[in-house]
Amino acid sequence: MDMGKLDMSVQGERAKTFLGQLHEKVGKTLLFQSAANQGLVDVMQANGRHYQTIVEIGTLYGVGAIVLSYFAENVISIDVRDWPERKNVYKWLPAAVKEKISCVRVEDNDSKARLLRAMNFDFAFVDAGHSELQVAIDWGLVQKCGDVLFHDYPQSGSGCPGVGLVVDAIKGGTVTISRPFAHWRAE
């Protein structure tokens, strides 16, 4: 069955099942820092949308991209670093998930900007550098899609202040806070 045709609750349950299996195979160390461990599946399920192309800024081990692939036809995960541990995670992916994900390493913000300006995407997930400057740069590059989810919005002494400063300064659209996530929509 085409995963794109399923409703979001089924997609979310499939993602959770796979994350459980992945946890058994690679251990919690590789999954610990991932947004997937902090409710990304639930946020995407509640979002209720299936996307054509999702851009993820910040790959780390690639677990976020795996979750996002259950809610999109394509996921392009962009990072300035190549994470060798990702190979240990991706070797367990089913072919139907693996073919949806492209991990792209860029040299710097300028090359990331050139890439994103040339791309069409309908959702972005920002979870890379967490300084105010870096989040602002990434926000400026992805807001054109009109639907952006930020990870590590500050909560009770944790999270990243830079994310909060950028999100709290957004003008226009609607921001929904569901810590540690903040979701902005242009509509």
* Domains with residue ranges and CATH for the chain: 3-185 (3.40.50.150)
Tell me, what DSSP letter sits at residue 107? S
Rounded to two decimals, the pTM is 0.91
Q: How confident is the model at residue 4 (pLDDT cuts 50, 70, 90)?
A: very low
In tens, the pLDDT along 65-95 reads 999 999 999 999 999 998 888 888 888 898 9
Q: Of all residues in the chain, what percent carry a pLDDT higher than 70?
A: 93
Sequence-separated (6 or more) residues with CB below 8 Å from residue 126:
57, 58, 135, 138, 139, 142, 148, 149, 150, 151
Helix axes 40-47, 8-26, angle to 10 degrees: 170
In tens, the pLDDT along 119-153 reads 999 999 999 999 999 999 999 999 999 999 999 99
Q: How confident is the model at residue 103 (pLDDT cuts 50, 70, 90)?
A: very high
Q: How confident is the model at residue 1 (pLDDT cuts 50, 70, 90)?
A: very low
**Adjacent-strand bridge partners of 54:** 75, 123
Six token digits for residue 135: 């989040």
In tens, the pLDDT along 14-67 reads 999 988 888 888 877 766 668 887 889 999 999 999 999 999 999 988 999 999
